[in-house]
Structure 1
Amino acid sequence: MQAIPTDQHVFIAGKTGSGKSFLAEVYLAGYDHVIMLDTKGQSLERRKKGENLWYGLKEGKDFVLVETLEEVAEARTKKVIYCPIPEEQDEEYYDALMKWVYERHNTILWIDELMQVCPSPSKYPYHMKHLYQRGRFVDSVVWACTQRPATIPSDIMSNSTHFFIFDLNKVADRKRVADDLGSDMFMDKPGYRNFWYMRDSDDEPVRATLKL
C-alpha cells in the first residue's frame, strides 16, 4: 500500500459491509498516534466474539480500548480506540475530542461513522471544522468513514485529499460524491470489495482492491 502523508485528510465512503472500515483499519495500523472514535460500539462486539480489535496489532501493547474521554488522554499506547459510554455519545464530547487531537499535534483521528458525529450538513462539532481547515498544519488530520455522504457537511470532502469510495446503494450518495469530486464515474458502483480511489488533484478515479 502506498503511504498517505500525515498532513492530509482522508475520506472513505461505502455501504455497510463494503470494506470501508477494514481499509481504514489496515492502513492506519502502520501509523503512529491514531485515535479511533468508535461510536457504533463495534470494538466491544468484536471483543465479545473473541476477535482481534485491530488488524495486525496487539491490544495492550499497540493500542488500548477506552470508554471515556479522560482515559483517552491518559492512555500510554500510541493508538487508542475510544468507544464512548452512552453519557459521552454527544456533540460536547466529540467536540472536546477534536479539540484535544488538534492541540496534541501529530495525531490522526479515525471516525468510523460520520453520521453519528454529524447528524446533518449543518450540525457538527465546532472543532471539527477547525480540525479540517487547520489541522494539516500541525499533522493532526481526520480519516472519516461514512455510509451516507449525501448528508455530511461540505467542509469534509472539500478539505480532503484522498478518497476511497466503495459501493453506495443510494443514488443520492453516489451523486453527492460525483458532484463534489467532478467525475460521473462515481455514479457506477466499483463492485464488491472494490473501491474507487482518487486524489483531489486527479481528473478521474481508478478502480482498485485492497491487497494485504
Structure 2
Amino acid sequence: MNGIPTDEHVFIAGKTGSGKSFLAEVYLAGYEHVVMLDTKGQCLERRKKGKELWYGLREGKDFVLVETLEEVAEARTKKIIYCPIPEEQDEEHYDALMKWVYERENTILWIDELMQVAPSPTKYPFHLRALMTRGRSKEATVWACTQRPATIPIDVFNNSSHFFIFDLNIPADRDRIVKATGCPEFYEKPGKYNFWYMRDSDDEPVRATLKL
C-alpha cells in the first residue's frame, strides 16, 4: 500500500475496539497539517490515565489538545486535537470547524466518530458536504471513522478514494459497504485487528494488518 495523497478522502469503519482509530492515529502522524475532531473525549481520558495522546508524537511540540474553536484558530502546532467542551458539541460548532478547515486548505480533518457529527444520512453539517465534494482541489480532505456505516451520508461514500474496513458485527453495516463499493468481499469479517483495504479504482479489496 503506497502513501495516501493529501488530496484524497479516506473512509475507515469498524466496531468498537477493532483498531480503526489507532490505524488513523498511526497513519496521520506522518502527515503535516491534521486536525482531529475527538467528539468522544477519548484523548482527555487517555491524558487522565497518563497514556500517550497521539502515537509517536509529542504534545506541545507536534500537537496541542484544545477544547474550544477559539483555541483551534490560535493553535501554533501543525497538528491539533479538538476535544470540544459540552457547549460546543453540536452541529453548529462542528460545521464551523469544517468551514475553518475548508477555508484554511492544505489540512486533513480526522473525524474520530462520524456518527456523532452526522447522526443520519440526511442530517449533517453543510461544510462536511463542501469538504467531501469540493475539498480535494484545496487539499482540505477528510479521514472519517465510524462504527455504524449504515447511517452515514452517501456523500462520504461517493467521494472517498480509500476504504479501510475492520470487523463489523451488524449485517446492515456490512451490507452498506458492499452496496457502496460493489464488492461482496466486505460481507466477510477480516478478523481481529485485520482490515480490508481498497482504493476506489480497485476491483476488489485486500486483507491487511497494520505494521508498526
TM-score, normalised to structure 1, is 0.99
- The separation in 2 between residues aligned to 1:55 and 1:157, in whole angstroms, is 27
Which residue does 1:79 correspond to in 2? 79
* CA displacement, residues 170-197 of structure 1 (integer Å, 9 cap, x when unaligned): 0000000011000110000000000000
- Sequence identity, in percent? 79
Could you say which residue in structure 1 is the equivalent of 2:35? 35
Hey, what's the Cα distance between the residues in 2 that align with 1:3 and 1:199?
Answer: 12
Matched AA of 2:199: R
Matching residue of 1:5: 5
Task: Report the Cα distance in structure 2 between the residues aligned to 1:79 and 1:110, rounded to whole angstroms.
Answer: 11
Instruction: Give the 5 Å matches for 1:1-212.
Output: 2-212=2-212
Q: Quick one: distance in 2 between partners of 1:48 and 1:65?
A: 13
Quote how far apart the aligned CAs of 1:107 are.
Answer: 0.2
**Residues 55-93 of structure 1, C-alpha deviations (whole Å, 9 max, x = no match):** 000000000000000100100000000000000000000
How many correspondences in the alignment? 212
Shift of 1:2: 2.8
Deviation >6 Å, runs of 4+: none
SS at match of 2:52: coil
Q: Structure 2: any 5+ residue segments left out of the alignment?
A: none
SS in 2 for 1:60: coil
How big is the shift at 1:132?
0.4
Give me the whole-angstrom Cα distance separating, in 2, the residues matched to 1:82 and 1:206: 33
The letter for the 2-side match of 1:23 is: L
Alpha-carbon deviations, 1:24-60, whole Å to 9, x = none? 0000000011000000000000000000100000000
RMSD, matched Cα: 0.6
Structure 1: gaps of 5 or more residues: none
Q: How far, CA to CA, are the matches of 1:179 and 1:123 in structure 2? A: 21
SS of match in other structure, 2:174: helix
Residue aligned with 2:64, SS:
strand
Q: Which amino acid aligns with 1:120?
A: S
1:34 and 1:157 map into 2 onto residues whose CA distance is 21
- Distance in 2, Cα, partners of 1:2 & 1:145: 20
The aligned amino acid for 2:176 is R
CA separation in 2, counterparts of 1:113 and 1:2? 25
Q: CA deviation at 1:3?
A: 1.2
User: For residues 202 and 54 of structure 1, what CA distance do their matches in structure 2 show?
Assistant: 31
Q: Classify the secondary structure of the residue corresponding to 1:81.
A: strand
Between the aligned partners of 2:121 and 2:57, the Cα distance in structure 1 is: 35
Alpha-carbon separation, structure 1, partners of 2:116 and 2:164: 20
